[in-house]
Amino acid sequence: MRTARNALVILAMLAAVWPALAAPAQASGTANHTEGRTALNQASSALESGRDAGFREAGCPRGPSTYDIGIGATGTAVREVQCLLNATLSYSAYPYIPVNGSYDSFTAGGVQVFQTCANYRHAGIGVDGRVGPQTLPHLRWWGQHTHDTGEVMC
C-alpha cells in the first residue's frame, strides 16, 4: 500500500512539473528551470499539506521560529529547510533534495552550497552545513524572495 502511494506521489509531482520542463527554451535557460522547480515545490507542498498544517506563503512547512539543526535531525524544521533549499538553489547549483524530513548528508551539502552562495552576497555566515540562528533568517528570506520574484539564490 505504501509503495503504491509513493508511486502516486511521484506521478503527481511529475505531472505538475512536466509542462514547465517540456516547454521550449526561452531567452533565459533559468526561466524554465525556475518554473519547473516552482511547480515541483507546489506539488510537494500540496502532498505534504495532508500531514502538516501551517504552510507559509512560499509553500514550505514552517518550523519553529528559531532552531539549530544538522545531520540526524528530523521533523517539520527539516522539511522546511529542504523545501526552502529546493526553492532557492538552481538545479545547476545543487540537485533537488527530497522533502522527507530527514536531515542527511545530502541536505547538509545543500545547506553548505546555500551558505556559500549567501556569502557571495555578503551574508557573512559560517559554512558548516547546519541551519541555525545565522543561516535560518537568510534561508527564509530567500525562500520568500524566490517565491515572490522567481530569482533563485544561485
Please, what is the Cα angle at 145 between 141 and 151, to 5 degrees?
Answer: 130
In a domain, 118, yes or no: yes
What is the reported pLDDT for 58? 66
pTM above 0.75, yes or no: no
Is the distance from CB of 67 to CB of 136 less than 8 angstroms? yes
For the stretch 59-81, pLDDT in tens is 898 889 999 999 999 999 999 99
Query: How many domains in the chain?
Result: 1
Domain that holds residue 75: 2-149
Is the distance from CB of 136 to CB of 60 less than 8 angstroms? no
For range 22-41, the mean pLDDT: 41
CATH code for the domain of 23? 1.10.101.10
> Residue 153, exposed/middle/buried by CB under 10 A (0-12, 13-18, 19+)?
buried
In a domain, 135, yes or no: yes
Q: Higher confidence at residue 50 or residue 37?
A: 37
Residue with cell 507559509: 56
In a domain, 154, yes or no: no
In a domain, 23, yes or no: yes
